[in-house]
Structure formats: structure tokens, C-alpha cells
């Protein structure tokens, strides 16, 4: 298993449109697209070889809702790109690393993803991603 790069940083925001005014109006960055995924509205902003993934809860019950209530806006997770996510998950399990997703699943932006549990990763929620063949961000 090889971790190739930081694919993205997930950042929880209260309001995506408002956050975009800072990220793409204040900072010289560009939004590539937005996507609705599992009760969230997600905006993708490339930064060099990585991206910032802005996450807004829209359903009131998405995976980021509790985090926002507890912590407010901020960095939510870090995503590492791997070549073969099925193999990576097997290797992490063999090393005793606690996973949220023991089987990789479909994530936003056509990626295959698997989360590790933040209790086993020094307090940082970490995600493995394997991008679809046609996309590197
Ligand atoms: N970073 C660090 N620690 C986190 C965390 C985060 N993003 N989210 C939760 N935690 C910690 C909590 O602080 C809590 O710690 P304590 O027990 O010490 O208080 C513990 O993990 C349990 O958290 P919780 O608030 O009780 O919330 P849940 O157990 O309901 O869920 C988690 C936590 C991580 C298992 C769940 O959010 C999850 O499955 N996340 C993976 C999916 C996800 O986050 N998707 C959103 C991103 C977009 C995408 O899916 O691609």
C-alpha cells in the first residue's frame, strides 16, 4: 500500500455559498463544481495537486451535522489517495487500524472511499480515496 498524496481536506462550513465568497472571491482559488451527496452540498476547489472539499449539511441529518454542532466550522477530515483501495483496507485491518468502512464504498465525485475511525488516528478523521480513472482531483 502506498499513499500517493493528500487528495483533499474536507472543511465543514455552515453555508457553502457564503464560504465560496471567501475561498474563491477572497482567495485566488476556483470552484470546479458542486455536488449533492448524502444530505450534503459539496464544493470542490483544487489547490495544486490537492483539493479543498467544502461540506455543507443540507438535510439536517448528514454525517457532518453533529460535527458542526460540536465544533463549528473547520477542518473535518484529511483524504489520502491510494492506488488500490480494496488492498489498502485489507492492509490497514491487518495492522489493527480501526475502520469505519471495512468495505470501500462509493463517495462523492465518483471516488471510492473508506474512512478510518478518528479514535484510532490521533483525533483526525482520515479517509482513503481511489479516484475514478478519468479524474485526479
Ligand atoms: N474529526 C475528529 N474526531 C471526530 C470527527 C472528526 N471529523 N468526527 C467525530 N469525531 C470524534 C468525536 O469528537 C467523538 O469523540 P468523543 O467520543 O471523544 O467525544 C467521536 O469521534 C464520536 O463522534 P460523535 O460526535 O459521537 O459522532 P458519531 O459517532 O455519530 O460519528 C464518525 C463520528 C466519525 C464515526 C462519523 O461522522 C462517520 O462515520 N464519518 C465518516 C463519514 C463522513 O464523515 N462523511 C462526511 C464527509 C463526506 C464524505 O462522506 O465523503
**pLDDT tens digits, residue range 50-67?**
999 999 999 999 999 999
Report the separation in Å between the CA atom of 116 and the middle of ligand 1, taken as the mean of its atom positions.
10
What are the residues whose beta carbons fall under 8 Å from the beta carbon of 63, sequence distance 6 or more?
A: 38, 39, 40
Q: Is the beta carbon of 60 within 6 A of some atom in ligand 1?
A: no
Does the domain spanning 3-130 belong to CATH 1.10.40.50? no
Residue nearest to atom 9 of ligand 1 (CA): 67
Query: Would you place residue 70 in the very low, low, confident or very high pLDDT band (cuts 50, 70, 90)?
Result: very high
Rounded CA separation 106/91 (Å): 20
The chain-wide mean pLDDT, for the chain, equals 95
With CA atoms as reference, report the closest residue to 31 among 106, 39, 21.
Answer: 21
Query: Would you place residue 136 in the very low, low, confident or very high pLDDT band (cuts 50, 70, 90)?
Result: low
pTM of the predicted model, to two decimals? Answer: 0.95
Report the separation in Å between the CA atom of 67 and the middle of ligand 1, taken as the mean of its atom positions.
7
Residue nearest to atom 36 of ligand 1 (CA): 63
pLDDT score for 133: 72
Report the separation in Å between the CA atom of 118 and the middle of ligand 1, taken as the mean of its atom positions.
7
Report the separation in Å between the CA atom of 28 and the middle of ligand 1, taken as the mean of its atom positions.
31
pLDDT score for 132: 84
- Give the number of other Cβ atoms within 10 Å of residue 14's Cβ: 11
Amino acid at each position: 500500500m502506498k499513499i500517493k498524496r493528500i487528495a483533499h481536506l474536507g472543511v465543514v462550513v455552515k453555508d457553502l455559498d457564503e464560504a465560496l465568497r471567501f475561498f474563491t472571491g477572497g482567495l485566488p482559488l476556483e470552484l470546479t463544481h458542486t455536488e449533492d451527496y448524502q444530505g450534503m452540498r459539496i464544493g470542490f476547489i483544487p489547490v495544486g495537486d490537492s483539493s479543498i472539499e467544502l461540506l455543507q449539511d443540507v438535510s439536517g441529518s448528514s454525517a457532518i451535522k453533529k460535527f458542526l454542532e460540536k465544533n463549528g466550522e473547520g477542518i473535518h477530515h484529511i483524504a489520502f489517495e491510494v492506488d488500490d483501495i480494496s488492498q489498502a483496507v485489507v492492509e490497514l485491518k491487518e495492522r489493527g487500524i480501526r475502520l469505519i468502512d471495512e468495505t470501500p464504498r462509493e463517495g462523492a465525485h465518483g471516488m471510492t472511499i473508506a474512512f478510518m475511525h478518528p479514535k484510532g488516528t490521533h483525533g483526525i478523521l482520515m479517509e482513503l480515496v481511489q479516484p475514478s480513472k478519468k479524474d485526479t482531483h
